[in-house]
Amino acid sequence: MSHAAPASATAPAALPAVQWDIVRALIVKDWQLFEKPLAAYVLAGIVALGLIGLARPWSFYAGALLLIILLVAVACMSISNALLTERKEQTLAFVMSLPVSPLDFTLAKLGGNAFTFLVPFLVLLAGTVGVTLTTPVPDGFVVFATLVYGHVLLAFSLSLAVAMSVRSEGWNVFVMIATQVLVNPFLMLLGQIASIRDVGRGEAIVWSGEALLILGLQVGLSALAIAFTGWWHGRKAAFE
Amino acid sequence: MSSVSTGKLSKDDLSKSTLSKNSLSKSSASTSVASTSAISMSGTRAADAAPDCAVAERLHAMDHLRALAMLAGVLFHAALAHSVLMQPFWPTATGAASWTVDALVWLSHLVRMPLFFLVAGFFAAMLLQRRGMGGLMRQRLRRVLLPLLVAWPLVTLASIAAFDWALAHVQASNGVLTALRAAQAGAGADAPPLPLSTGHLWFLYYLLLFAVLLWIGRVLEAGRWLQAVFARGPWVVALGLPLLLAGPFALTSAPHPAPESLLPALWAIGLYGSFFALGVGLYGRLDWLAPLQRAWWPGVIVVLALQAVFVWRLQAGPVERLWPHAAWPTALLEAAIAAWGTLLCLLAGLRWLARPSAALRYLAGSAYTVYLLHLPLLFALQFALMDTGLSGATFFALSVAGTLAGCLLVYELAVRRTALRRWVG
């Protein structure tokens, strides 16, 4: 296992070899620190799906609202636990004393956050699609719901990229809140696009050109943000 | 099903269970050191036998109870053809129905699945202690999720084939067949498609869900609450359990349906989850139940009396049973029958099923396969018998015997001595 290079070193031309066992250990460490809140979120997710399953208007609204709250909370909590709190508690200084390269650390942070966010994200997405297809809710609503989930994914990816690069807690909190709150104008935007709005009221699941473009942008920008962050930090020879 | 998992219980495993702490607690400071069979469930001193043997007897009892609970499901589904309440809804309803059948059927309905989930919780706690959470989850994926994913489409296709055959060949009619024939003729062309359903395999879905809830409970250290509940003693738990269950029963209709939707049903989580948690808490300390043993016979009388009242309420009017939610008195009645009936079955099992038995052992081994496969075969046989004019008792006996014979044949030929045993044996 290679040790971290001196802080004064400059970026090398090629990426160093990844120590996958170290990356795995760091992800497991983040998972263990995040396990308790994640368990609470999963429990709340089950309750939310159960509320929706009661098939009454108030319970459907309460369950759907709880699902959105959970999604946003998981996204913010994951980043906050794994990056911001770690900085505040000087854990990074301790990690730097270990045989961990910046690339290992970057991959662990990206992988750990993706894991802790994507597991509940995908479960909730599958639950929402399942609810839509198995209840009187029009099946076409799947398109609308998927785009809302896409927004949360993009907001998470941008927040993670910023948290990896910017040390200021204030800026990080601002980006997290701003990107997630933008879901409101995004919902209004979707409501203005006839091909998405009208499909959401019918039984046919039709992916119009506009819907596919928005989803493509959401997924593409998310992947780009994560990939660029990984490349930018992974190429460094030393921790900053 | 955990239980599903318990194919073999080695002596080593059994001795471990005598030392078990509450498996839900992550803390090593857990105070619930299991009693090591100081007093056996039959009330005799266990000092005569080695502790391991005493515990082994109890695990035999749990394994046998699980098998009987699953096999009771075959009888339950077969008997629904003769239930007065189910005549409009059950596809093989014969028209020859009796309230006596309803009394027996709904009693078993209130007890067998709660008992099954209690035993499942018990064995889940055992697996958790032996293999850890990762091992438990891997076991669930192999023994529950995989069989669910494989059996679900197969059972659905087999059921569709049975229904298609019935629509083409069965002359007799009932509410379901009439509706299906109308739909086939185009009268129901505008009806929305039926939602996806797990059918009679819903219990596998809930076993997976309860495995997740077990992880949540362990991470959030819910074991402390379970400890606090158990610390109040068996009488408090037995008398308080109906109050806990009344809420879930009030959230659904009476009699309660099978929670077949892909969405988790809160009432089912509350009802079956409570029994699952009780089973988890009982692991390693079955002797905790010993004080209840002396109330067994009075308990049986009370439960039968409550069941008579419940059936009387069902007879009283259609509103009670068709309304989406049971009235609170009915819910409390159901809760008391389910709680006390299940505990009585558990106590009976610990008293009378604790010894090794070749027949029960075989049933325990085959129960999972039988339960997975039984419903399409039962439908097919009952459809085939509908035009024969047989008496209700003969119809029931033949359909049950044929279903069990067919399922056991599959078990013998395809599971018992093959690699499939690892998944569903």
- Tell me which of A26 and B12 has the higher pLDDT: A26
Residue of B253, B266, B272 best to disrupt the A interface, most CBs of A under 10 A: B266
Residue of B216, B220, B271 best to disrupt the A interface, most CBs of A under 10 A: B216
Cα B419 from Cα A92, distance rounded (Å):
50
- Tell me which of A5 and A124 has the higher pLDDT: A124
Residue A17 pLDDT: 73
Determine which of B56-60, B255-259, B337-341 has the lowest per-residue pLDDT on average.
Answer: B56-60
Query: Which residue of A lies nearest to B268 if distances are taken between CA atoms?
Result: A50
Residue B404 pLDDT: 95
Residue B229 above 50 pLDDT? yes
Cα B269 from Cα B246, distance rounded (Å):
13
* Per-residue pLDDT band at B234 (split at 50, 70, 90): very high
Task: From B145, B85, B144, B134, select the one nearest B109 (Cα to Cα).
Answer: B85
Q: What letter would DSSP give residue A137?
A: S
Cα A203 from Cα A132, distance rounded (Å):
10
Query: Which residue of A lies nearest to B265 if distances are taken between CA atoms?
Result: A50
Residue A168 pLDDT: 81
pLDDT tens per residue across span A123-140: 888 878 877 887 777 888
Contact A50 B215 (CB under 8 A): no
- Give the best-scoring range by mean pLDDT among A85-99, A198-212, B3-17: A198-212
- Tell me which of B13 and A106 has the higher pLDDT: A106
Query: Which residue of B lies nearest to A35 if distances are taken between CA atoms?
Result: B219
Contact A50 B195 (CB under 8 A): no
Query: Which residue of B lies nearest to A45 if distances are taken between CA atoms?
Result: B264
Contact B261 A51 (CB under 8 A): no
Residue A81 above 80 pLDDT? no
Q: Is A221 helix (H, G, I), strand (E, B) or coil?
A: helix
Residue B143 pLDDT: 93
* Per-residue pLDDT band at A73 (split at 50, 70, 90): confident
* Per-residue pLDDT band at B274 (split at 50, 70, 90): very high
Residue A3 pLDDT: 46
Of B216, B251, B261, the CB nearest to A43: B216
Say if residues B120 and B3 touch (Cβ distance below 8 Å).
Answer: yes
Contact B196 A134 (CB under 8 A): yes
Of A36, A134, A136, the CB nearest to B263: A134
Minimal Cα–Cα distance from A217 to chain B, Å? 31
Report yes or no: B191 at the A interface, CB cutoff 8 Å.
no
* Per-residue pLDDT band at B233 (split at 50, 70, 90): very high
Residue B38 pLDDT: 29
Report yes or no: B195 at the A interface, CB cutoff 8 Å.
yes
> How long is chain A?
240
pLDDT tens per residue across span A39-53: 898 899 889 888 887
Residue B33 pLDDT: 33
Mean pLDDT of chain B: 83
ipTM of the complex: 0.77
- Tell me which of A191 and B343 has the higher pLDDT: B343
B316: number of Cβ within 10 Å: 11
pLDDT tens per residue across span B305-321: 999 999 988 887 665 55
Of B213, B215, B263, the CB nearest to A53: B263
Cβ-proximal residues to B69 (8 Å cutoff; 6+ apart), any chain:
B112, B113, B115, B116, B119, B345
C-alpha distances (whole Å) from B237 to each of B33, B230, B232, B234 are: 19, 7, 7, 5
* Per-residue pLDDT band at B56 (split at 50, 70, 90): low
Report yes or no: B262 at the A interface, CB cutoff 8 Å.
yes
Residue B346 pLDDT: 95
Task: From B18, B63, B46, select the one nearest B286 (Cα to Cα).
Answer: B18
Residues in chain A with CB shorter than 8 Å from the CB of B134 are none
Residue B243 above 90 pLDDT? yes
Contact A51 B269 (CB under 8 A): no
Query: Which residue of A lies nearest to B209 if distances are taken between CA atoms?
Result: A46
pLDDT tens per residue across span A148-176: 999 999 999 999 888 888 878 788 888 88
* Per-residue pLDDT band at B41 (split at 50, 70, 90): very low
Residue B191 pLDDT: 58
Report yes or no: A126 at the B interface, CB cutoff 8 Å.
no
Residue B28 above 70 pLDDT? no
> How long is chain B?
425
Mean pLDDT of chain A: 81
Stated pTM of the model: 0.80
Residue B5 pLDDT: 41
Residue A155 pLDDT: 92
Whole-number CA gyration radius for chain B:
22
Residue B140 pLDDT: 93
Report yes or no: B253 at the A interface, CB cutoff 8 Å.
no
pLDDT tens per residue across span B81-123: 999 988 888 999 988 888 999 999 999 999 999 999 999 999 9
Minimal Cα–Cα distance from B348 to chain A, Å? 34
pLDDT tens per residue across span A172-198: 888 888 888 888 899 889 888 888 888
**CA B178-B183-B186 angle, 5° bins:** 130
Cα B383 from Cα B160, distance rounded (Å):
12
Angle at which helices A183-192 and A141-165 cross, to 10°? 150
Could you tell me the sign of the dihedral formed by the alpha carbons of B407, B413, B417, B421, in that order? Answer: negative
Contact A46 B269 (CB under 8 A): yes
Residue B179 pLDDT: 86
Report yes or no: B180 at the A interface, CB cutoff 8 Å.
no
Residue B366 above 50 pLDDT? yes
Residue B12 above 50 pLDDT? no
Residue B302 above 90 pLDDT? yes
Contact B216 A40 (CB under 8 A): yes
Minimal Cα–Cα distance from B220 to chain A, Å? 6
Query: Which residue of A lies nearest to B219 if distances are taken between CA atoms?
Result: A36
- Tell me which of B80 and A77 has the higher pLDDT: B80
Residue of B133, B205, B263, B271 best to disrupt the A interface, most CBs of A under 10 A: B263
* Per-residue pLDDT band at A201 (split at 50, 70, 90): confident
Cα B248 from Cα B244, distance rounded (Å):
8
